[in-house]
Amino acid sequence: MVRHYKFNVVMKNSTKLCSTKPIVTVNGQFPGPTLVAREDDTVLVKVVNHVKYNLSIHWHGIRQLRTGWADGPAYITQCPIQPGQNFVYNFTITGQRGTLLWHAHILWLRATVHGAIVILPKRGVPYPFPTPHKEKVILLGEWWKSDVEAVINEATKSGVAPNVSDAHTINGHPGPVSACSSLASPFMDAPIAVDNVTATATLHYSGTLASITTTLTVPPAKNATAVATSFTNALRSLNSIKYPARVPLKIDHSLFFTIGLGINPCATCKNGSRVVADINNVTFVMPKIALLQAHVFNISGVFTDDFPANPPTPFNYTGTQPTNFQTENGTKLYRLGYNNTTGEENCRSD
Ligand SMILES: [Cu+2]
């Protein structure tokens, strides 16, 4: 079946941590509406942009099989939707089920423009796990008291890292707050500033006494690498006869990506330098024409296809850091043939 959704992107005042600011929302909701569809359904989402920002929406984790134009990252698969304009995302969900995420994919609009995508299995087919008594979507986010676009614009201009958030949120709420700041801590073992104020939410089971006090567990240390590693190492994909985990055994391209931070010269910046992100020492330069558009219409000069498959200079990736932090700027792509399989290490996509 075809599922129709209308996403009106509008401003809405929101009060959190004792201060109010206008935020960009979908249909005035924060978090945004949950998109529900069934495997094999076609989803049509009409996005109407009523705000002053250019914007696009990414359907995070949806396999866009021959519908690359509907994927959503601005300047990658489409030009952003301009103020007063609209765009209809049209894609079919094939071979996947579970809960995913949609979010704005330009600048920092995703901080408030995001929501869940619930994909039900085909009719009559159960989830690959015991039927739960109740399902609840939980969305984790971050909240800045100041305007998020101003935060990222200031960081880009000055070259220093953007301000960390004021709170983490669970379904849009920071939870119990003390002195209008909020209460524990995400994992971080790198010397990078993060918001280590943790959000708290309680799940109340019906039939239990509300008067019983909740005892909070003591979380591991912020830099408990061993705890975090054993947790992530324990994650396995579901593998059953109905839902086999088909790991490709034949690899056409073997990629090894290192993701890091670099420092590049910047004459107009605060310290004469700019903090940048990089993959294999390449810092992405946003093109003026969407990459997919440039590829389909054979427009040259938009990107080069020399993205390195390996780090240009090998170093001890978990040990002593290199002394030269300078990266190479470029709009570089790695070109794969249709149906090629890749073996990737350390790959993260957004
Ligand atoms: Cu995404």
323 alpha carbon – ligand 1 mean position (Å):
32
Strands 282-284 and 328-330 come out as parallel
Give the residue-averaged pLDDT of 281-309.
96
Q: Bridge-partner residues for 4, per DSSP?
A: 44
Q: Is residue 232 part of a domain?
A: no
Judge whether residue 349 has pLDDT over 50.
Answer: no
The range of the structural domain enclosing residue 59 comes to: 2-137
- Check residue 174 and give its pLDDT: 87
Within a domain: residue 231?
A: no
Looking up residue 50, the CATH number of its domain turns out to be: 2.60.40.420
Q: How far away, in angstroms, is 62 Cα from ligand 1 center?
A: 9
93 falls within a domain:
yes
**Average pLDDT for 309-315:** 94
Residue 59 Cα to ligand 1 midpoint, Å, equals 6
> Within a domain: residue 132?
yes
Lowest mean pLDDT among 33-42, 129-138, 251-260: 129-138
Amino acid identity, residue 8?
N
* Rounded distance from Cα 141 to ligand 1 centre (Å): 13
120-131 mean pLDDT: 86
The H or E element spanning position 158 is: helix 148-158
More confident residue, 187 or 119: 119
Asked if 76 and 290 touch (Cβ cutoff 8 Å), the reply is yes
Share of the chain above pLDDT 70, in %: 95
Mean pLDDT of 151-175: 91
Single residue among 137, 169, 200 that ends a domain in this structure? 137
In a domain, 12, yes or no: yes
Does residue 60 sit within a domain? yes
**Domain count for the chain:** 2
Average pLDDT over residues 243-261: 90
User: Is residue 229, in this structure, part of any structural domain at all?
Assistant: no
CA of 86 to the centre of ligand 1 (A): 20
How is residue 185 written in tokens?
């801590």
pLDDT of 7 reads 98
What is the per-residue pLDDT across 54-105, written as a single tens digit (0 to 9) for each? Answer: 999 999 999 999 999 999 999 999 999 999 999 999 999 999 999 999 999 9
Check pLDDT > 90 for residue 185: no
Position 217 pLDDT exceeds 80: no
Instruction: Tell me which of 17-21, 35-39, 161-165, 341-345 is least confident.
Output: 341-345
The alpha carbon of 182 and the centre of ligand 1 are apart by a number of angstroms equal to: 27
In a domain, 143, yes or no: no
- At residue 137 the predicted structure's pLDDT band, cuts being 50, 70 and 90, is very high
Alpha-carbon distances of 60 from 11, 107, 261, 345, rounded to whole Å: 23, 16, 24, 20
**Structural contact between residues 57 and 6, judged by C-beta atoms closer than 8 angstroms:** no
pLDDT band at 350 (very low <50, low <70, confident <90, very high): very low
Rounded distance from Cα 271 to ligand 1 centre (Å): 31
Residue 139 Cα to ligand 1 middle (Å): 14
Phi, psi of 228 (to 5 degrees): -65, -40
Dist. CA 120–CA 98, nearest whole Å: 7
Tell me which DSSP letter residue 252 carries.
S
How remote is the CA of residue 180 from the centroid of ligand 1, in Å? 31
The alpha carbon of 77 and the centre of ligand 1 are apart by a number of angstroms equal to 12
CA of 113 from ligand 1 middle (Å) equals 11
Which one of 98, 119, 137 terminates a domain? 137
Mark which of 108, 137, 166 sits at the end of a domain. 137
| Cα 271 versus chain centre, distance | 29
- Strands, E assignment, the chain: 2-16, 19-26, 35-38, 42-49, 57-60, 86-92, 98-104, 114-120, 140-143, 167-170, 177-178, 181-182, 253-256, 259-265, 273-279, 282-284, 328-330, 342-345
